A and B are shown apart, each in its own frame.
Chain A
Amino acid sequence: SVEGDAIKVYVRVRPPSEGTALSDGDQGLCLSVLSSNTIRLHSKPEPKIFTFDYVANMETTQESVFSSVAKNIVESCMNGYNGTIFAYGQTGSGKTFTMMGPSDSDNFTHSLRGVIPRSFEYLFFLIEREKEKAGSGKSFLCKCSFIEIYNEQIFDLLDSASAGLFLREHIKKGVFVDGAVEQVLSSAAEAYQVLTTGWRNRRVASTSMNRESSRSHAVFTITVESMEKNNEIVNIRSSLLNLVDLAGSERQKDTHTEGLRLKEAGNINRSLSCLGQVITALVDVGNGKQRHICYRDSKLTFLLRDSLGGNAKTCIIANVHPGSRCFGETLSTLNFAQRAKLIKNKAVVNEDTQGNVS
Chain B
Amino acid sequence: GEARLAAVRRAVLEYELGVNHTDTEELSAGEEHLQRCTQLLEPHRLSPDCVSLYIQAQNNLGILWSERDEIKTAQTYLESAEALYNQYMKEDGNPPLDPSEHFMAEEEKLTDQERSKRFEKAYTHTLYYLAQVYQHLEMIEKAAQYCHTTLKRQLEYCGYYPVEWALNAATLSQYYLSKQCFMESRHCLAAASVIFSQAGQVPSAEDNETEQDQQDLRQRKAEIARCWIKYCLNLLQSARKLLEDNIGELDPDRQSELKAQRRKEEDEKEKGRKKAVLFGTSDICDSVLAMEEKVSSVYPLDFQEAREIFLVGQNYVQEAKEFFQVDGYVTDHIEIVQDHSALFKVLAFFEEDYERRCKMHKRRIDMLEPIYADLNPQYYLLISRQLQFELADTYYEMMDLKVAIGNRLEELDSHTIKKINSLAQLAIKYYELFLDSLRNPDKVFPEQLEEDVLRPAMVAKFHIARLYGKLITSDSKKQLENMQTSLEYYTFLVDYCEKYPDAVRAVETELELSKEMVGLLPTRMERLRAKLCPFI
Contact = CB atoms under 8 A, between A and B. Distances in A.
A162 B397 CA distance: 52
B175 A282 contact: yes
Interface string B342-358: 10000000000000000
Nearest to B215: A166
Given A295-B167, A350-B390, A351-B459, A357 B510 contact: yes
A354 interface: yes
A291 B441 contact: no
A278 B131 contact: yes
B379 A275 contact: no
7 contacts: A171-B330, A261-B66, A262-B74, A286-B178, A292-B227, A294-B220, A345-B382
A79 B234 contact: no
Contacts of B164: 271, 273, 276
Contacts, number: 208
Contacts of A262: 62-63, 66-67, 74, 129, 132-133, 136
Interface in B369-392: 371, 374-382, 385-386, 389-390
Contact of A270 (B143, B159, B171, B230): B159
A293 B173 CA distance: 10
A1 B440 contact: yes
A253 to B, nearest CB: 10
B385 A294 contact: no
Given A276-B164, A282-B135, 13 more contacts: A170-B330, A172-B376, A261-B66, A262-B74, A265-B128, A272-B128, A275-B147, A282-B143, A289-B234, A311-B378, A344-B452, A346-B382, A349-B456
Contacts of A353: 393, 396, 459, 463
A260 B71 CA distance: 7
A319 B379 CA distance: 29
A173 interface: yes
Contact of A292 (B133, B220, B230): B230
A162 to B, nearest CB: 15
A168 interface: yes
A19 interface: no
A349 B385 contact: yes
Interface in B404-460: 434, 440-441, 446-448, 450, 452-453, 455-456, 459
Interface in B121-164: 124-125, 128-129, 131-133, 135-136, 140, 143-144, 147, 150-151, 154, 159-161, 164
- Chain A's interface: helix, strand, loop or mixed, by majority? loop
A276 B167 contact: yes
B244 A275 contact: no
A45 interface: no
A81 B441 CA distance: 9
B328 A169 contact: yes
Contacts of A270: 159-161
B400 interface: yes
B177 interface: yes
Given A260-B66, A283-B178, A350 B247 contact: no
Nearest to B226: A292
Contacts of B71: 260
Contacts of A287: 178
Interface of B: 62-63, 66-67, 69, 71, 74, 124-125, 128-129, 131-133, 135-136, 140, 143-144, 147, 150-151, 154, 159-161, 164, 167-168, 170-172, 174-175, 177-178, 220, 223-224, 226-227, 229-230, 233-234, 237, 244, 246-248, 326-331, 338-339, 342, 371, 374-382, 385-386, 389-390, 393, 396-397, 400, 434, 440-441, 446-448, 450, 452-453, 455-456, 459, 462-463, 509-510, 513
B23 to A, nearest CB: 9
B217 to A, nearest CB: 13
Contact of B386 (A279, A294, A348): A348
Contacts of A292: 174, 223, 226-227, 229-230
B131 A354 contact: no
Interface residues of A, number: 66
Contacts of B124: 272
A346 B454 CA distance: 12
Interface in A302-358: 305-306, 310-311, 344-351, 353-358
A349 B175 CA distance: 22
A91 B71 CA distance: 29
B168 A275 contact: yes
B66 A310 contact: no
Interface of A: 1-2, 4-5, 76, 79-82, 168-175, 238-239, 259-265, 270-273, 275-276, 278-283, 285-287, 289-295, 305-306, 310-311, 344-351, 353-358
The interface residues of chain B, by DSSP majority, are classed as helix
Contacts of A263: 132
B379 A356 contact: no
Given A265-B125, A281-B135, A294-B223, A357 B462 contact: yes
B167 to A, nearest CB: 5
Given A82-B378, A270-B159, A272-B154, A349 B230 contact: no
A346 B455 CA distance: 13
Contact of A261 (B67, B381, B513): B67
Contacts of A259: 69
A346 B452 contact: yes
A289 B178 contact: yes
Given A350-B389, A351-B456, A353-B459, A271 B376 contact: no
Contacts of A261: 66-67, 69
Contact of A306 (B379, B386, B452): B379
Contacts of B226: 292, 294
Contacts of B459: 351, 353
Given A172-B374, A271-B164, A286-B178, A280 B248 contact: no
Contacts of B329: 168-169
B26 to A, nearest CB: 16
B132, B133, B446: which has the most chain A beta carbons within 10 Å?
B132
A275 B247 contact: no
A284 B386 CA distance: 21
A2 B168 contact: no
Which of B164, B448, B513 has its CB near the most chain A CB atoms (within 10 A)?
A: B164
Nearest to A358: B247
A276 B168 contact: yes
Contact of A351 (B244, B248, B455): B455
A151 B213 CA distance: 17
Contacts of A354: 248, 509
Contact of A283 (B161, B175, B377, B456): B175
Nearest to A237: B378
Given A169-B328, A264-B63, A1 B446 contact: yes
The 8 A-B residue pairs with the shortest CB-CB distance, nearest first, are: A355-B248, A174-B379, A286-B178, A169-B330, A349-B456, A262-B66, A291-B174, A292-B226
A306 B167 CA distance: 27
A283 B170 CA distance: 11
Contacts of A350: 338, 342, 386, 389-390
A175 B328 CA distance: 9
A12 to B, nearest CB: 28
A173 B224 CA distance: 28
Given A351-B455, A356-B247, A291 B177 contact: yes
A349 B378 contact: no
A198 B150 CA distance: 46
A272 B447 CA distance: 51
A224 to B, nearest CB: 13
Contacts of A311: 377-378, 381
A301 to B, nearest CB: 13
A272 B150 contact: yes
A309 B248 CA distance: 35
B342 A290 contact: yes
A173 B452 contact: no
